[in-house]
Amino acid sequence: MEELGAGLAKVGTGVAAVAIVLGLLLLIFFIGARAKGRLQSPVAIVVFLGPAILLLAYGLIVPAFRTTVGSFQNASGQDWVGFANYTWIFTAPGNSTFLINTILWLIIAPVLSTGLGLTLALLLDRMRRESVSKSLIFMPMAISFVGAGIIWGLIYEYRDPSKPQVGLLSQVVMWLGVEDPPNWLLWQPFNNFLLMVIMIWIQVGFAMVVLSAAIKAIPSDVVEAAELDGATGYRLFSKVTIPMIRGTLIVVLTTIMIAVLKIFDIVRTMTNGNFGTQVVANEMYAQAFVAFDVGRGSALAVVLFVAVIPLIVYNVVQLRKERAIR
């Protein structure tokens, strides 16, 4: 009971915060409304834009600037070290692991998610009752990476083969006749792929829903004309369907790539980057908040930022092009 009281007090804090912010906003609205005549518009602009601009300046712009500056400084942020942190990232012997892993993640997880999502979207297009499957495949998207990590940790669990198995993967492999399944999460380098499976499990639903909508939006006269010309099956797919949804495919692919690049939660909960599974985003966290090396942590953040830019730019350009056509 006592615990419930404390809990409700916490929720109350949240509600109070919302109420206070609402009150403050109403107050500045009230003050702003007193401005008359030519002052009206300028005051309204300050009132409406002010809070957001302040937050963005303090919470995003200045911190990003300071991180960039910090990436050229040493571990404690006292001295300038030029590009030393960047040189360290790309040349230090141990670092090739997280660099290579991140590149593998960046290629494998998005391609497989999109590919499987596209296959499902095409198959769904030929089904009468599709909504239940769609919902269930889409559902992992609502689960946190930490939750997904626990779910899959259960599947990858290792037990001595002489004992009854608890992990589904080991059990299935043993049913199939393998006598001595490996300890999955320690099984280098394949453990990386097992972690990617979690990401794919989450992202396939997203790819499927978006691509399925794109396929349905292909005008039926286009398909009919192609069919009259004798295009069926694979030819119809490669010459009509794919070109018609090309833009959406690219958007889905780059979107998942952006998410993958920043993947942190899965690796941290499953292996914490041990056993050869480290990636850039988790290395950034480890450098910044475990090793307290501000310089290296900042430099890794900048690397992530720079890597994300071309993906987003390509994404936006693609969206614009599609819109212009429509």
Site for other proteins in 48-77 (CB under 8 A): 48-49, 51-52, 55-56, 58-64, 66-68, 70
Q: Residue 192 burial by CB count (10 A; 0-12/13-18/19+): exposed, middle or buried?
A: buried
Per CB under 8 A, 128 contacts other proteins: yes
Out of 143, 173, 226, 231, name the contact with other proteins by CB under 8 A. Answer: 143
Residue count at the site for other proteins (CB under 8 A)? 129
Q: How far is the CB of 242 from other proteins (least distance, A)?
A: 16
The helix/strand/coil state of 262 is coil
Residues 212-241 that bind other proteins (CB under 8 A): 212-214, 216-217, 220, 223-224
CA nearest 219: which of 189, 241, 186? 241
CB neighbours of residue 261 within 10 Å: 20
Question: Residue 89 or 302: which CB sits closer to other proteins?
Answer: 302
The helix/strand/coil state of 34 is coil
CA 37 to chain CA centroid, nearest Å: 48
Report the C-alpha gap between 92 and 272 in whole angstroms. 20
Question: Residue 187 or 264: which CB sits closer to other proteins?
Answer: 264
Q: How far is the CB of 186 from other proteins (least distance, A)?
A: 15
Residues 241-300 that bind other proteins (CB under 8 A): 248, 251, 255, 258, 261-262, 264-265, 268-269, 272, 281, 284-285, 288-289, 294, 297-298, 300
Per CB under 8 A, 140 contacts other proteins: yes
Residues 82-111 that bind other proteins (CB under 8 A): none
Question: Residue 104 or 155: which CB sits closer to other proteins?
Answer: 155
Q: Two tokens at 86?
A: 């960047």
Q: Which residues contact 88 (CB under 8 A, 6 or more apart)?
A: 95, 296, 299
Q: How far is the CB of 250 from other proteins (least distance, A)?
A: 12
Q: How far is the CB of 188 from other proteins (least distance, A)?
A: 19
Out of 27, 29, 39, 243, name the contact with other proteins by CB under 8 A. Answer: 29
Contacting range for other proteins; rule: CB under 8 A; set: 26-34, 81-89, 91-99, 182-190: 26-34
Per CB under 8 A, 120 contacts other proteins: yes
Residue-by-residue DSSP string for 108-154: HHHHHHHHHHHHHHHHHTT-S--HHHHHHHHGGGGS-HHHHHHHHHH
Q: How far is the CB of 182 from other proteins (least distance, A)?
A: 17
Residue-by-residue DSSP string for 168-207: HHHHHHHHTT-SS---GGGSTTHHHHHHHHHHHHHHHHHH
Q: Two tokens at 221?
A: 């006269």
